Amino acid sequence: MEYILTVMVLIGINVILATSFNLILGYGGLMSVAHPIFYAIGAYCSGLLAIHLQIPVPLSILIGAAIAMVLSFGVSLPSLRVSGDYLVIASIGFQLGILHVINNLEFTGAAGGLTNIPVLNEGPSRSLVFVLLIAVVAACAVLLVGWIVEGDYGRAITAMRNDEEAFSALGRNAMNIKIVLFAIGSGMAGLAGALYAHYFAYVTPEQFGIFTSAALLTMVVVGGAATTWGPLVGAVLLTTLPQAITFLGLPVSIMAPLQGVIYTTLVIFFLFARPQGLTGGSRGGGGLEAWSASAAFRARRRAE
Amino acid sequence: MSTIVRVEDLHKSFGGIVVADDVNLSFEAGEIVGLIGPNGAGKTSLFNLISGVIPPDAGSIILEGHRVDQLPMHHRARIGLARTWQNTRMFHSMSVIDNLLIATRRYPGESLARILFRRRSVDAFRQEATEKAMVLLERVGLAEKMHEMAIELSYGQQKRIGLARALMSDAACLLLDEPMAGVEGQAYETIIRVIREEAQAGRAVCVVEHNISFIRDISDRTVFMFNGCVLASGSVDELTRDTQLTDLYFGGEHPQ
């Protein structure tokens, strides 16, 4: 039972992460892969505040999320100058740079990780209560993103993603939208990180590396970029799938790389065969259009 | 007549390629200027410089008394510049009407805070923008296409949507990049009429076009560009009588 509840907590965390990543990558078309670093910032800041300053956990969670929001400038400012593949590179630099700092600082626990983080709630039904809490937060995350991308603001986001230059030439300010999308998306990732830290009481730097970026990308692509429910479907599938594989009883030397192989295969398969993901309509793809082989194909055919 | 846009000693080069070589030009209110020249003469680059897609190396651009050459693109657009693009640049995952709504002067979805706290003014802006978009679609003869995806229309129809989109902001200066490419038949007359009406409403219009008979039909003054320089200015007939210019246009040599 405890195992199932723990998996459900992970699903909830991943729904928040994938949904917020989808806001930036899928809807905004902002090709940042640094999303896990805001997850890390939320986890570490909130954990450290609770450990060293004895700040009450609920408050430290909110502060952790707020710090992630503010530090999103680290990616949103470069995104004003570079886009597409160049932003991927800039964001990887930002992610690995901060990770390197965390890895080498004494007070973050360095490579060994941050331990003894105070938990949010205790008691016999601690996991169940936490699952309910995370379900509420995840539902709010999905609804918030759904609200942002609908209507007039969503139209502006779509237009910016389609053609930023044409968008700016019509008097619209792309800079504001980028900063807002990164701030909200990263704040949500920070919240997920802080919740994670105060449930598992332990975080390590390696949880927030490129592998996590790939996992989140897979969730968004498989579920459906720029759709409301896609990241939710993707997060549920890709959190339970690796858990299911563990029951196969394969040796660790095969298990560990297998996950990475599955993720990358899925991303490539979907970008080629079904860029709109599982939930997307006929015209999906969102910000990943540029990477999607079939969309490029369609565009070329139209041009001819 | 009052000057809407004045370009002074504008210079821009990419490495050794000079796309604007001390260009001096002005567009007056109510005037339609035709900009012609062979491919690579710097016509579209001039539009890019004026609208802010590329920054100039030197010189100034003055829009209704404001110096705009250092301002970002969206800021210039808000002061009063509107342009269309050679390759239409529709927002491809949006409908025709949504393409137009984006371009309205007071955009209802400008900020999340506004949507959240000033619901009523946002609704009013949207109402105003939708009505305006309908009128413009009517004028370019594509009202029945309002809910179709812009990218699924023909090239000529996209050109007309692009024109309508540029008119959404009531900009004082209109820069039209090959508005006639792909436009045929009835639509040709429609576009000429719309452009004339906009000029009569006091806007300064500059049109880049390879279709010389269209330029002859519509422009009050024609400017000939070559290798980033403004070589001559006058009526189409004056320019076409100049054999040196026609030689250049049809692939002649650089004047020594």
Size of interface A-B (CB pairs under 8 A): 91
pLDDT at A233: 94
**DSSP H helical ranges for A22-111:** 35-52, 57-71, 73-81, 85-104
What is the rounded distance in angstroms from the CA atom of residue A49 to the CA atom of residue A63?
Answer: 9
Contact by Cβ (8 Å): A62, A7: no
Which single residue is written with the structure tokens 């920070």?
A190
Which two structure tokens, joined as six digits, stand for B184?
């045929």
Domain chopping of chain A, boundaries: 2-303
Which single residue is written with the structure tokens 């601690």?
A126
Distance from CA of A172 to the nearest CA of B (A): 5
Question: CA nearest B216: which of B241, B248, B252, B190?
Answer: B241
Residue A64: what residue type?
A: G
Cβ neighbours of B51 in A, within 8 Å: 169
Whole-prediction pTM: 0.90
CB-nearest partner of B89 from A148, A156, A163: A163
What residues contact residue A47 under an 8 Å CB cut-off, 6+ apart? A60, A64, A114, A117, A194, A197, A198, A203
A148 interface with B at CB cutoff 8 Å: yes
Question: CA nearest A12: which of A180, A140, A171, A101?
Answer: A140
Strands B58-63 and B66-67: antiparallel
Distance from CA of A32 to the nearest CA of B (A): 21
Query: How many other CB atoms sit within 10 Å of the CB of residue B232?
Result: 17
Convert the pLDDT of each residue in A105-137 to its tens digit. Answer: 888 888 888 988 898 888 888 999 999 999 999
Which single residue is written with the structure tokens 């038949």?
B185
pLDDT at A304: 43
B238 interface with A at CB cutoff 8 Å: no
Question: CA nearest A225: which of A24, A14, A15?
Answer: A24
Convert the pLDDT of each residue in B133-188 to its tens digit. Answer: 999 999 999 999 999 999 899 999 999 999 999 999 999 999 999 999 888 888 89
Host H or E run for residue B8: strand B3-14
Topology adopted by domain A2-303? ABC transporter involved in vitamin B12 uptake, BtuC (1.10.3470)
* Domains of chain B with CATH codes: 3-249 (3.40.50.300)
Given an 8 Å threshold on Cβ–Cβ distance, is B73 in contact with A180?
no
Which two structure tokens, joined as six digits, stand for B28?
């007056």
Listed range (A104-113, A173-182, A288-297, B79-88) with the worst mean pLDDT: A288-297
A268 interface with B at CB cutoff 8 Å: no
What is the rounded distance in angstroms from the CA atom of residue B211 to the CA atom of residue B240?
Answer: 13
What is the rounded distance in angstroms from the CA atom of residue A167 to the CA atom of residue A172?
Answer: 6
CB-nearest partner of A156 from B89, B105, B109: B109
Q: What integer is the mean pLDDT of B118-144?
A: 93
Contact by Cβ (8 Å): B90, B162: yes
Cβ neighbours of B122 in A, within 8 Å: 152
Contact by Cβ (8 Å): A32, A87: yes
Which two structure tokens, joined as six digits, stand for A104?
């080498």
pLDDT band at A267 (very low <50, low <70, confident <90, very high): confident
B72 interface with A at CB cutoff 8 Å: yes
CA–CA distances in Å: residue B252 to residues A171, B44, B45, B49, B222: 40, 20, 21, 26, 20
Minimum CA–CA partner of A168 in chain B: B74
pLDDT band at B256 (very low <50, low <70, confident <90, very high): very low
Cβ neighbours of B149 in A, within 8 Å: 283
Which single residue is written with the structure tokens 């790389």?
A257
Convert the pLDDT of each residue in A149-166 to its tens digit. Answer: 998 999 999 999 999 999
Cβ neighbours of B105 in A, within 8 Å: 171
A172 interface with B at CB cutoff 8 Å: yes
What is the rounded distance in angstroms from the CA atom of residue A27 to the CA atom of residue A162?
Answer: 10
What is the rounded distance in angstroms from the CA atom of residue A199 to the CA atom of residue A131?
Answer: 10
A180 interface with B at CB cutoff 8 Å: yes
Cβ neighbours of A148 in B, within 8 Å: 112
